[in-house]
Chain A
Amino acid sequence: MRYFQPATLDEALAIRRGNDVVPLAGATDVYPARAGRRAWGDPTHKDVLDLSRIEALRGIEDRGDHVRIGALATWTDLIRADLPPLFDGMKRAAREVGGVQVQNRGTVVGNACTASPAGDGIPNLLALDAAFEIEGPSPRLVPAEAFFTGYRATACGPHDIVAAIRIPKREGRGHFVKLGARRYLVISIAMVAAALETDAAGRIVSARIAVGACSAAAGRLPLLEAALPGAPLTDAPALVEPRHLAHLTPIDDIRASAGYRMAAALALVGDALADLSRPAARVA
Protein backbone atom coordinates (compact mmCIF):
# COMPACT_ATOMS: atom_id res chain seq x y z
CA MET A 1 0.00 0.00 0.00
CA ARG A 2 1.29 3.45 -0.90
CA TYR A 3 0.42 6.26 1.41
CA PHE A 4 0.34 9.99 0.71
CA GLN A 5 0.11 12.63 3.38
CA PRO A 6 0.03 16.08 1.78
CA ALA A 7 -0.16 19.33 3.72
CA THR A 8 -2.20 21.36 1.26
CA LEU A 9 -5.34 20.84 -0.76
CA ASP A 10 -3.46 21.63 -3.98
CA GLU A 11 -0.97 18.88 -3.27
CA ALA A 12 -3.79 16.54 -2.46
CA LEU A 13 -5.56 17.32 -5.73
CA ALA A 14 -2.34 16.75 -7.65
CA ILE A 15 -1.95 13.33 -6.01
CA ARG A 16 -5.58 12.50 -6.70
CA ARG A 17 -5.13 13.35 -10.37
CA GLY A 18 -2.05 11.20 -10.77
CA ASN A 19 -2.92 8.17 -8.66
CA ASP A 20 -5.72 5.76 -7.89
CA VAL A 21 -6.05 6.64 -4.20
CA VAL A 22 -8.79 6.46 -1.63
CA PRO A 23 -9.05 9.75 0.27
CA LEU A 24 -9.08 9.29 4.00
CA ALA A 25 -10.03 11.81 6.67
CA GLY A 26 -11.05 10.18 9.96
CA ALA A 27 -10.36 6.69 8.60
CA THR A 28 -13.21 5.14 10.60
CA ASP A 29 -15.37 4.24 7.61
CA VAL A 30 -12.72 3.23 5.11
CA TYR A 31 -11.27 0.67 7.46
CA PRO A 32 -14.38 -1.30 8.52
CA ALA A 33 -15.74 -1.16 4.97
CA ARG A 34 -12.71 -3.10 3.82
CA ALA A 35 -11.90 -5.03 6.94
CA GLY A 36 -14.22 -7.87 6.11
CA ARG A 37 -11.54 -8.41 3.51
CA ARG A 38 -8.05 -7.49 4.47
CA ALA A 39 -8.31 -3.91 5.58
CA TRP A 40 -4.99 -2.14 5.35
CA GLY A 41 -3.27 -5.31 4.30
CA ASP A 42 -5.57 -6.05 1.41
CA PRO A 43 -3.33 -6.39 -1.64
CA THR A 44 -6.18 -5.13 -3.80
CA HIS A 45 -6.61 -2.08 -1.62
CA LYS A 46 -6.22 1.26 -3.32
CA ASP A 47 -3.43 3.47 -2.15
CA VAL A 48 -4.32 5.96 0.52
CA LEU A 49 -4.48 9.73 0.40
CA ASP A 50 -4.49 10.96 3.97
CA LEU A 51 -6.12 14.39 4.13
CA SER A 52 -5.67 14.75 7.88
CA ARG A 53 -2.77 17.22 7.68
CA ILE A 54 -4.56 19.76 5.50
CA GLU A 55 -5.37 22.64 7.81
CA ALA A 56 -7.74 24.30 5.34
CA LEU A 57 -10.15 21.38 5.64
CA ARG A 58 -10.63 21.70 9.40
CA GLY A 59 -13.42 23.18 11.41
CA ILE A 60 -17.04 24.20 11.34
CA GLU A 61 -17.59 27.80 10.44
CA ASP A 62 -20.60 30.10 10.57
CA ARG A 63 -20.49 32.10 7.36
CA GLY A 64 -23.56 34.22 7.92
CA ASP A 65 -26.00 32.70 5.48
CA HIS A 66 -24.61 29.21 5.78
CA VAL A 67 -22.59 26.92 7.99
CA ARG A 68 -19.54 25.32 6.42
CA ILE A 69 -18.46 21.89 7.66
CA GLY A 70 -14.89 21.20 6.60
CA ALA A 71 -13.86 17.78 5.32
CA LEU A 72 -11.91 17.11 8.51
CA ALA A 73 -14.68 18.19 10.92
CA THR A 74 -15.58 15.26 13.14
CA TRP A 75 -18.94 14.28 14.53
CA THR A 76 -17.71 15.49 17.89
CA ASP A 77 -16.82 18.86 16.39
CA LEU A 78 -20.39 19.04 15.16
CA ILE A 79 -21.86 18.06 18.53
CA ARG A 80 -19.79 20.72 20.26
CA ALA A 81 -20.38 23.47 17.71
CA ASP A 82 -22.67 26.32 18.69
CA LEU A 83 -25.35 26.02 16.04
CA PRO A 84 -29.00 27.10 15.75
CA PRO A 85 -31.92 24.68 16.42
CA LEU A 86 -32.06 23.81 12.73
CA PHE A 87 -28.99 21.65 13.37
CA ASP A 88 -30.46 19.72 16.27
CA GLY A 89 -31.28 16.72 14.10
CA MET A 90 -27.80 16.74 12.65
CA LYS A 91 -26.37 16.75 16.18
CA ARG A 92 -28.62 13.90 17.20
CA ALA A 93 -27.42 11.89 14.26
CA ALA A 94 -23.84 12.70 15.24
CA ARG A 95 -24.43 11.08 18.60
CA GLU A 96 -25.67 7.90 17.00
CA VAL A 97 -22.66 7.35 14.73
CA GLY A 98 -20.58 4.49 16.15
CA GLY A 99 -19.48 5.07 19.71
CA VAL A 100 -18.03 8.31 21.01
CA GLN A 101 -14.57 6.97 20.14
CA VAL A 102 -15.62 6.86 16.51
CA GLN A 103 -17.43 10.21 16.70
CA ASN A 104 -14.13 11.72 17.84
CA ARG A 105 -12.38 10.68 14.62
CA GLY A 106 -15.05 10.01 12.03
CA THR A 107 -15.98 12.97 9.83
CA VAL A 108 -19.31 14.28 8.59
CA VAL A 109 -17.99 14.61 5.05
CA GLY A 110 -16.39 11.17 5.05
CA ASN A 111 -19.66 9.57 6.12
CA ALA A 112 -21.41 11.35 3.24
CA CYS A 113 -18.76 10.29 0.72
CA THR A 114 -19.08 6.63 1.75
CA ALA A 115 -22.73 7.06 0.76
CA SER A 116 -23.96 3.96 2.50
CA PRO A 117 -27.75 3.69 2.29
CA ALA A 118 -27.58 3.44 6.08
CA GLY A 119 -25.20 6.40 6.55
CA ASP A 120 -26.46 8.19 9.63
CA GLY A 121 -25.57 11.68 8.45
CA ILE A 122 -27.17 11.57 5.02
CA PRO A 123 -30.91 12.11 5.67
CA ASN A 124 -30.06 15.28 7.58
CA LEU A 125 -27.97 16.61 4.73
CA LEU A 126 -30.94 16.08 2.44
CA ALA A 127 -33.44 17.64 4.83
CA LEU A 128 -31.17 20.64 5.39
CA ASP A 129 -30.61 21.26 1.66
CA ALA A 130 -26.88 20.87 2.10
CA ALA A 131 -24.49 21.46 -0.78
CA PHE A 132 -21.12 19.83 -1.40
CA GLU A 133 -18.05 21.91 -2.20
CA ILE A 134 -16.19 19.73 -4.66
CA GLU A 135 -12.61 20.63 -5.55
CA GLY A 136 -10.92 19.12 -8.56
CA PRO A 137 -10.52 19.63 -12.29
CA SER A 138 -13.90 21.45 -12.30
CA PRO A 139 -14.64 22.92 -8.90
CA ARG A 140 -18.38 23.07 -8.22
CA LEU A 141 -21.12 23.19 -5.61
CA VAL A 142 -23.42 20.17 -5.78
CA PRO A 143 -26.75 20.01 -3.94
CA ALA A 144 -27.14 17.00 -1.67
CA GLU A 145 -29.95 15.53 -3.75
CA ALA A 146 -27.66 15.48 -6.78
CA PHE A 147 -24.62 14.37 -4.78
CA PHE A 148 -26.06 11.02 -3.68
CA THR A 149 -26.49 9.23 -6.96
CA GLY A 150 -27.17 5.68 -5.79
CA TYR A 151 -25.96 2.78 -3.71
CA ARG A 152 -22.57 3.89 -2.37
CA ALA A 153 -22.29 6.23 -5.32
CA THR A 154 -21.79 10.01 -5.32
CA ALA A 155 -21.11 12.87 -7.68
CA CYS A 156 -17.54 13.10 -6.38
CA GLY A 157 -15.35 12.05 -9.30
CA PRO A 158 -12.10 10.08 -9.21
CA HIS A 159 -10.02 13.25 -9.38
CA ASP A 160 -12.21 15.25 -6.99
CA ILE A 161 -12.05 15.88 -3.28
CA VAL A 162 -15.01 17.10 -1.24
CA ALA A 163 -13.60 20.04 0.67
CA ALA A 164 -16.67 20.89 2.70
CA ILE A 165 -20.42 20.76 3.10
CA ARG A 166 -22.42 23.97 3.20
CA ILE A 167 -25.72 24.09 5.02
CA PRO A 168 -27.97 27.14 4.50
CA LYS A 169 -29.05 28.82 7.72
CA ARG A 170 -32.81 29.04 8.00
CA GLU A 171 -35.43 29.35 10.68
CA GLY A 172 -36.92 26.26 12.22
CA ARG A 173 -35.88 23.16 14.08
CA GLY A 174 -34.29 19.98 12.96
CA HIS A 175 -34.77 16.50 14.36
CA PHE A 176 -33.55 12.98 13.72
CA VAL A 177 -34.81 9.56 14.78
CA LYS A 178 -33.32 6.21 13.98
CA LEU A 179 -34.25 2.57 14.44
CA GLY A 180 -31.79 -0.26 14.66
CA ALA A 181 -32.00 -3.73 16.13
CA ARG A 182 -30.11 -2.35 19.10
CA ARG A 183 -29.73 1.19 20.40
CA TYR A 184 -26.15 1.98 19.42
CA LEU A 185 -23.49 0.67 17.06
CA VAL A 186 -25.83 -1.12 14.75
CA ILE A 187 -26.70 -0.70 11.11
CA SER A 188 -29.86 1.39 10.87
CA ILE A 189 -33.08 -0.25 9.72
CA ALA A 190 -34.74 3.07 9.10
CA MET A 191 -34.06 6.70 9.97
CA VAL A 192 -35.79 10.00 9.50
CA ALA A 193 -34.46 13.55 9.46
CA ALA A 194 -36.83 16.49 9.54
CA ALA A 195 -36.48 20.27 9.43
CA LEU A 196 -39.62 22.25 10.16
CA GLU A 197 -40.34 25.94 10.24
CA THR A 198 -43.44 27.12 12.08
CA ASP A 199 -45.09 30.49 12.48
CA ALA A 200 -45.99 32.25 15.72
CA ALA A 201 -49.35 30.44 15.78
CA GLY A 202 -47.62 27.09 15.62
CA ARG A 203 -48.55 26.38 12.03
CA ILE A 204 -46.10 24.71 9.73
CA VAL A 205 -44.54 27.11 7.25
CA SER A 206 -42.20 24.68 5.56
CA ALA A 207 -41.22 21.07 6.03
CA ARG A 208 -38.29 19.11 4.69
CA ILE A 209 -38.21 15.45 5.56
CA ALA A 210 -35.83 12.71 4.44
CA VAL A 211 -35.74 8.97 5.05
CA GLY A 212 -32.62 6.82 5.12
CA ALA A 213 -31.93 3.09 4.95
CA CYS A 214 -35.14 2.55 3.00
CA SER A 215 -33.80 2.79 -0.53
CA ALA A 216 -30.49 2.55 -2.37
CA ALA A 217 -29.84 6.16 -1.43
CA ALA A 218 -31.62 8.24 1.20
CA GLY A 219 -34.43 10.39 -0.17
CA ARG A 220 -36.85 13.20 0.64
CA LEU A 221 -40.63 12.87 1.04
CA PRO A 222 -42.00 15.53 -1.36
CA LEU A 223 -45.65 14.50 -0.99
CA LEU A 224 -45.55 14.84 2.75
CA GLU A 225 -43.57 18.07 2.54
CA ALA A 226 -46.32 19.46 0.33
CA ALA A 227 -49.08 18.25 2.63
CA LEU A 228 -47.78 19.77 5.84
CA PRO A 229 -47.57 23.56 5.31
CA GLY A 230 -50.50 25.36 6.86
CA ALA A 231 -51.27 22.59 9.30
CA PRO A 232 -50.82 23.09 13.04
CA LEU A 233 -47.61 21.35 14.08
CA THR A 234 -49.46 19.40 16.74
CA ASP A 235 -51.61 17.82 14.02
CA ALA A 236 -48.63 16.88 11.87
CA PRO A 237 -48.11 13.29 13.10
CA ALA A 238 -51.69 12.44 12.17
CA LEU A 239 -51.21 13.74 8.64
CA VAL A 240 -48.55 11.17 7.75
CA GLU A 241 -49.89 8.57 5.33
CA PRO A 242 -48.34 5.46 3.81
CA ARG A 243 -48.64 6.99 0.31
CA HIS A 244 -46.13 9.69 1.35
CA LEU A 245 -43.50 6.96 1.50
CA ALA A 246 -44.75 4.93 -1.43
CA HIS A 247 -41.88 5.95 -3.71
CA LEU A 248 -39.30 4.40 -1.38
CA THR A 249 -37.92 1.01 -2.39
CA PRO A 250 -36.50 -0.58 0.74
CA ILE A 251 -34.49 -3.75 0.42
CA ASP A 252 -35.03 -7.14 2.06
CA ASP A 253 -31.94 -8.34 3.84
CA ILE A 254 -30.94 -10.15 6.99
CA ARG A 255 -31.28 -6.98 9.00
CA ALA A 256 -34.87 -6.24 8.05
CA SER A 257 -37.55 -7.05 5.55
CA ALA A 258 -38.75 -4.39 3.14
CA GLY A 259 -42.17 -4.41 4.77
CA TYR A 260 -40.74 -3.83 8.18
CA ARG A 261 -38.43 -1.06 6.99
CA MET A 262 -41.41 0.68 5.40
CA ALA A 263 -43.60 0.32 8.49
CA ALA A 264 -40.77 1.45 10.73
CA ALA A 265 -40.06 4.46 8.52
CA LEU A 266 -43.73 5.40 8.65
CA ALA A 267 -43.74 5.14 12.43
CA LEU A 268 -40.49 7.10 12.68
CA VAL A 269 -41.79 9.96 10.52
CA GLY A 270 -44.74 10.24 12.89
CA ASP A 271 -42.43 10.03 15.90
CA ALA A 272 -40.14 12.72 14.50
CA LEU A 273 -43.06 15.09 13.93
CA ALA A 274 -44.50 14.31 17.34
CA ASP A 275 -41.14 15.05 18.96
CA LEU A 276 -40.95 18.34 17.09
CA SER A 277 -44.43 19.32 18.25
CA ARG A 278 -43.35 19.12 21.87
CA PRO A 279 -41.85 22.19 23.56
CA ALA A 280 -38.42 22.86 22.17
CA ALA A 281 -36.33 20.64 24.40
CA ARG A 282 -32.96 20.95 22.79
CA VAL A 283 -31.86 17.44 22.08
CA ALA A 284 -28.18 17.85 21.43
Chain B
Amino acid sequence: MLEVDKDRARHAVQPQHAFLVTLKVNGEEHRLNVDARTTLLDALRDRLHLTGTKKGCGLGQCGACTIIVDGRRVVSCLTLAVMNQGKEITTIEGLANGALHPVQQAFIEHDAFQCGYCTPGQIMSAVGLIQEGRTRSDDEIRENMSGNLCRCGAYTNIVDAIKDAIAHGLDPREAMTQAVEAIAQDAGREA
Protein backbone atom coordinates (compact mmCIF):
# COMPACT_ATOMS: atom_id res chain seq x y z
CA MET B 1 0.00 0.00 0.00
CA LEU B 2 2.93 2.27 0.68
CA GLU B 3 3.93 2.14 -2.96
CA VAL B 4 0.44 3.04 -4.00
CA ASP B 5 0.52 6.09 -1.83
CA LYS B 6 3.82 7.11 -3.31
CA ASP B 7 2.32 6.73 -6.77
CA ARG B 8 -0.58 8.83 -5.79
CA ALA B 9 1.51 11.51 -4.21
CA ARG B 10 3.49 11.74 -7.42
CA HIS B 11 0.53 12.30 -9.66
CA ALA B 12 -1.55 14.27 -7.24
CA VAL B 13 -0.67 17.64 -8.60
CA GLN B 14 1.51 16.70 -11.53
CA PRO B 15 -0.58 15.28 -14.33
CA GLN B 16 0.15 11.91 -15.86
CA HIS B 17 -0.67 10.13 -19.07
CA ALA B 18 0.23 6.66 -17.88
CA PHE B 19 -0.19 5.17 -14.46
CA LEU B 20 1.05 2.22 -12.53
CA VAL B 21 -2.05 0.94 -10.79
CA THR B 22 -2.76 -1.97 -8.55
CA LEU B 23 -6.08 -3.58 -9.31
CA LYS B 24 -7.43 -6.04 -6.78
CA VAL B 25 -9.55 -8.37 -8.84
CA ASN B 26 -11.22 -11.48 -7.46
CA GLY B 27 -8.89 -11.38 -4.50
CA GLU B 28 -5.73 -11.18 -6.53
CA GLU B 29 -3.58 -8.08 -6.91
CA HIS B 30 -2.43 -7.08 -10.36
CA ARG B 31 0.01 -4.28 -11.01
CA LEU B 32 -0.15 -2.81 -14.45
CA ASN B 33 0.75 0.26 -16.39
CA VAL B 34 -2.26 1.84 -17.99
CA ASP B 35 -2.90 4.81 -20.16
CA ALA B 36 -5.01 7.28 -18.17
CA ARG B 37 -7.91 6.89 -20.59
CA THR B 38 -8.10 3.09 -20.20
CA THR B 39 -11.47 2.08 -18.84
CA LEU B 40 -11.65 -0.52 -16.12
CA LEU B 41 -13.48 -2.75 -18.60
CA ASP B 42 -10.66 -2.60 -21.14
CA ALA B 43 -8.09 -3.18 -18.43
CA LEU B 44 -9.95 -6.30 -17.27
CA ARG B 45 -10.45 -7.70 -20.76
CA ASP B 46 -7.33 -6.68 -22.62
CA ARG B 47 -4.74 -6.50 -19.89
CA LEU B 48 -5.83 -9.09 -17.33
CA HIS B 49 -7.51 -11.33 -19.93
CA LEU B 50 -10.62 -11.59 -17.79
CA THR B 51 -12.94 -11.70 -20.78
CA GLY B 52 -16.01 -12.86 -18.88
CA THR B 53 -17.00 -9.21 -18.47
CA LYS B 54 -18.52 -8.17 -21.79
CA LYS B 55 -18.59 -4.94 -23.76
CA GLY B 56 -22.03 -4.41 -25.21
CA CYS B 57 -22.01 -0.65 -25.80
CA GLY B 58 -19.16 1.05 -23.99
CA LEU B 59 -21.55 3.83 -22.99
CA GLY B 60 -23.08 2.57 -19.76
CA GLN B 61 -26.37 1.86 -21.47
CA CYS B 62 -26.50 -1.94 -21.66
CA GLY B 63 -25.05 -3.31 -18.42
CA ALA B 64 -23.11 -6.17 -20.05
CA CYS B 65 -19.93 -5.00 -18.30
CA THR B 66 -21.45 -4.94 -14.80
CA ILE B 67 -19.03 -5.90 -12.06
CA ILE B 68 -18.97 -5.34 -8.34
CA VAL B 69 -16.62 -2.75 -6.87
CA ASP B 70 -16.43 -2.34 -3.11
CA GLY B 71 -19.72 -4.17 -2.72
CA ARG B 72 -21.71 -2.21 -5.29
CA ARG B 73 -22.54 -3.06 -8.88
CA VAL B 74 -21.15 -0.66 -11.44
CA VAL B 75 -20.69 -0.59 -15.19
CA SER B 76 -16.98 -1.04 -15.78
CA CYS B 77 -17.07 0.83 -19.09
CA LEU B 78 -17.86 4.12 -17.35
CA THR B 79 -14.99 4.12 -14.93
CA LEU B 80 -11.29 4.51 -15.54
CA ALA B 81 -8.87 1.89 -14.36
CA VAL B 82 -6.90 4.55 -12.48
CA MET B 83 -9.99 5.50 -10.49
CA ASN B 84 -10.21 1.97 -9.07
CA GLN B 85 -6.82 1.75 -7.45
CA GLY B 86 -6.97 -0.51 -4.41
CA LYS B 87 -10.70 -1.19 -4.59
CA GLU B 88 -12.17 -4.68 -4.21
CA ILE B 89 -13.26 -5.74 -7.67
CA THR B 90 -15.32 -8.86 -8.31
CA THR B 91 -15.98 -10.11 -11.83
CA ILE B 92 -18.00 -13.07 -13.06
CA GLU B 93 -14.84 -15.17 -12.97
CA GLY B 94 -14.60 -14.63 -9.23
CA LEU B 95 -18.18 -15.46 -8.33
CA ALA B 96 -18.12 -19.24 -8.22
CA ASN B 97 -16.17 -20.86 -5.45
CA GLY B 98 -15.89 -24.48 -6.39
CA ALA B 99 -19.67 -24.70 -6.41
CA LEU B 100 -21.65 -22.21 -8.42
CA HIS B 101 -22.98 -19.10 -6.72
CA PRO B 102 -26.74 -19.50 -6.05
CA VAL B 103 -27.51 -16.85 -8.66
CA GLN B 104 -25.52 -18.72 -11.28
CA GLN B 105 -27.30 -21.94 -10.39
CA ALA B 106 -30.69 -20.23 -10.58
CA PHE B 107 -29.87 -18.78 -14.00
CA ILE B 108 -29.33 -22.32 -15.30
CA GLU B 109 -32.42 -23.71 -13.60
CA HIS B 110 -34.67 -20.96 -14.98
CA ASP B 111 -33.16 -20.73 -18.45
CA ALA B 112 -32.48 -17.07 -17.74
CA PHE B 113 -30.53 -16.42 -20.93
CA GLN B 114 -29.99 -17.64 -24.44
CA CYS B 115 -26.88 -16.35 -26.22
CA GLY B 116 -25.05 -15.79 -22.94
CA TYR B 117 -23.46 -12.50 -23.90
CA CYS B 118 -25.32 -10.23 -21.47
CA THR B 119 -25.35 -13.00 -18.87
CA PRO B 120 -22.22 -12.20 -16.83
CA GLY B 121 -23.52 -8.65 -16.47
CA GLN B 122 -27.01 -9.83 -15.58
CA ILE B 123 -25.63 -12.21 -12.95
CA MET B 124 -23.35 -9.61 -11.37
CA SER B 125 -26.19 -7.12 -11.44
CA ALA B 126 -28.51 -9.67 -9.80
CA VAL B 127 -25.96 -10.38 -7.07
CA GLY B 128 -25.76 -6.65 -6.42
CA LEU B 129 -29.54 -6.32 -6.47
CA ILE B 130 -30.11 -9.11 -3.98
CA GLN B 131 -27.61 -7.56 -1.64
CA GLU B 132 -29.42 -4.22 -1.97
CA GLY B 133 -32.60 -6.03 -0.93
CA ARG B 134 -34.75 -4.27 -3.53
CA THR B 135 -36.51 -7.47 -4.51
CA ARG B 136 -39.87 -7.24 -2.80
CA SER B 137 -41.93 -7.73 -5.95
CA ASP B 138 -41.54 -8.70 -9.58
CA ASP B 139 -41.98 -5.05 -10.49
CA GLU B 140 -39.26 -3.97 -8.13
CA ILE B 141 -36.89 -6.58 -9.54
CA ARG B 142 -37.69 -5.52 -13.09
CA GLU B 143 -37.15 -1.87 -12.21
CA ASN B 144 -33.82 -2.54 -10.57
CA MET B 145 -32.60 -4.82 -13.35
CA SER B 146 -33.43 -2.24 -16.01
CA GLY B 147 -29.78 -1.29 -16.36
CA ASN B 148 -29.15 -4.62 -18.08
CA LEU B 149 -30.34 -5.14 -21.63
CA CYS B 150 -31.06 -8.66 -22.89
CA ARG B 151 -31.82 -8.73 -26.60
CA CYS B 152 -32.77 -12.41 -26.34
CA GLY B 153 -35.63 -11.16 -24.15
CA ALA B 154 -35.09 -13.52 -21.24
CA TYR B 155 -36.39 -11.03 -18.68
CA THR B 156 -39.26 -13.16 -17.39
CA ASN B 157 -36.88 -16.00 -16.61
CA ILE B 158 -34.28 -13.65 -15.14
CA VAL B 159 -36.87 -12.38 -12.67
CA ASP B 160 -37.78 -15.97 -11.79
CA ALA B 161 -34.13 -16.88 -11.33
CA ILE B 162 -33.54 -13.97 -8.98
CA LYS B 163 -36.59 -14.86 -6.90
CA ASP B 164 -35.42 -18.45 -6.80
CA ALA B 165 -31.92 -17.51 -5.69
CA ILE B 166 -33.46 -15.55 -2.82
CA ALA B 167 -35.95 -18.29 -1.94
CA HIS B 168 -33.26 -20.95 -1.89
CA GLY B 169 -31.55 -19.71 1.17
CA LEU B 170 -29.63 -16.82 -0.27
CA ASP B 171 -30.15 -14.17 2.37
CA PRO B 172 -29.88 -10.88 0.56
CA ARG B 173 -27.22 -9.59 2.90
CA GLU B 174 -25.28 -12.81 2.60
CA ALA B 175 -25.14 -12.73 -1.17
CA MET B 176 -22.29 -10.33 -1.17
CA THR B 177 -20.59 -11.76 1.88
CA GLN B 178 -20.62 -15.14 0.23
CA ALA B 179 -19.04 -13.77 -2.90
CA VAL B 180 -16.43 -11.83 -0.98
CA GLU B 181 -15.60 -14.81 1.24
CA ALA B 182 -15.26 -17.02 -1.78
CA ILE B 183 -12.72 -14.63 -3.15
CA ALA B 184 -10.89 -14.39 0.13
CA GLN B 185 -10.69 -18.18 0.28
CA ASP B 186 -9.41 -18.32 -3.25
CA ALA B 187 -6.80 -15.77 -2.44
CA GLY B 188 -5.88 -17.73 0.69
CA ARG B 189 -5.40 -20.89 -1.30
CA GLU B 190 -3.17 -19.18 -3.76
CA ALA B 191 -1.10 -17.44 -1.13
Q: Do A and B come from one complex?
A: yes
When C-beta atoms are compared, the residue in chain A nearest to B70 turns out to be A104
With A and B bound together, what is the CA distance between A277 and B159 in angstroms?
33
The answer to whether B58 touches A4, judged by C-beta atoms less than 8 angstroms apart, is: no
Residues of A near B16 (CB, < 8 A) are 2-3
Known A-B contacts A50-B82, A100-B125; the reply to A19 vs B15 at CB < 8 A is yes
With A and B bound together, what is the CA distance between A132 and B130 in angstroms?
35
Residue count of chain B within 8 Å CB distance of chain A: 37
B72 at the interface (CB under 8 A from A): yes
When C-beta atoms are compared, the residue in chain A nearest to B11 turns out to be A5
Counting chain B CB atoms within 10 Å of each CB, the highest count among A31, A39, A104, A183 belongs to A104
Known A-B contacts A6-B13, A19-B15; the reply to A1 vs B83 at CB < 8 A is no
When C-beta atoms are compared, the residue in chain A nearest to B37 turns out to be A40
The answer to whether A6 touches B73, judged by C-beta atoms less than 8 angstroms apart, is: no
1/0 contact string of B104-139 vs chain A (CB within 8 Å): 000000000000000000000100110010000000
Known A-B contacts A1-B37, A98-B147; the reply to A40 vs B75 at CB < 8 A is no
B181 at the interface (CB under 8 A from A): no
Known A-B contacts A1-B37, A184-B146; the reply to A27 vs B13 at CB < 8 A is no
The answer to whether B60 touches A98, judged by C-beta atoms less than 8 angstroms apart, is: yes
Cβ 8 A contact of B143, one of A52, A95, A104: A95
Residues of A near B37 (CB, < 8 A) are 1, 3, 39-41
When C-beta atoms are compared, the residue in chain B nearest to A14 turns out to be B13
With A and B bound together, what is the CA distance between A76 and B58 in angstroms?
22
Residues of A near B38 (CB, < 8 A) are 40
B32 at the interface (CB under 8 A from A): no
The answer to whether A53 touches B8, judged by C-beta atoms less than 8 angstroms apart, is: yes
- Interface residue range, chain A: 35 or more
B179 at the interface (CB under 8 A from A): no
The answer to whether B59 touches A185, judged by C-beta atoms less than 8 angstroms apart, is: no
A7 at the interface (CB under 8 A from B): yes
The answer to whether A6 touches B12, judged by C-beta atoms less than 8 angstroms apart, is: yes
A32 at the interface (CB under 8 A from B): yes
1/0 contact string of A84-124 vs chain B (CB within 8 Å): 00000000000100111110110000000000000000000
B102 at the interface (CB under 8 A from A): no
1/0 contact string of B160-186 vs chain A (CB within 8 Å): 000000000000000000000000000
With A and B bound together, what is the CA distance between A11 and B12 in angstroms?
8
B94 at the interface (CB under 8 A from A): no
B66 at the interface (CB under 8 A from A): yes
B76 to chain A, nearest CB (A): 9
The answer to whether A4 touches B75, judged by C-beta atoms less than 8 angstroms apart, is: no
B107 to chain A, nearest CB (A): 18
Residues of B near A52 (CB, < 8 A) are 83
In chain B, positions 42-82 with a C-beta closer than 8 Å to chain A are 58-61, 63, 66, 72-75, 77-80, 82
The answer to whether B39 touches A101, judged by C-beta atoms less than 8 angstroms apart, is: no
B36 at the interface (CB under 8 A from A): yes
The answer to whether B132 touches A100, judged by C-beta atoms less than 8 angstroms apart, is: yes
1/0 contact string of B3-45 vs chain A (CB within 8 Å): 0000010011101110100000000000000001111000000
The chain B residues found within 8 Å of chain A, CB to CB, are 8, 11-13, 15-17, 19, 36-39, 58-61, 63, 66, 72-75, 77-80, 82-83, 125, 128-129, 132, 143-144, 146-148
If A28-B75, A185-B61 are given as contacts, then 12 extra A-B residue pairs at C-beta distance below 8 Å, sorted by A number, are A1-B17, A5-B11, A6-B12, A27-B79, A31-B77, A39-B37, A40-B38, A50-B80, A53-B8, A100-B128, A100-B144, A101-B60
Task: Rank and list the top 5 A-B pairs by shortest CB-CB distance, nearest first.
Answer: A99-B147, A40-B37, A3-B36, A184-B146, A2-B15
19 A-B pairs with C-beta separation under 8 A: A3-B11, A11-B13, A27-B83, A31-B59, A32-B78, A39-B37, A40-B36, A40-B80, A41-B37, A50-B83, A98-B60, A100-B125, A100-B144, A100-B147, A101-B75, A105-B74, A105-B75, A105-B78, A183-B146
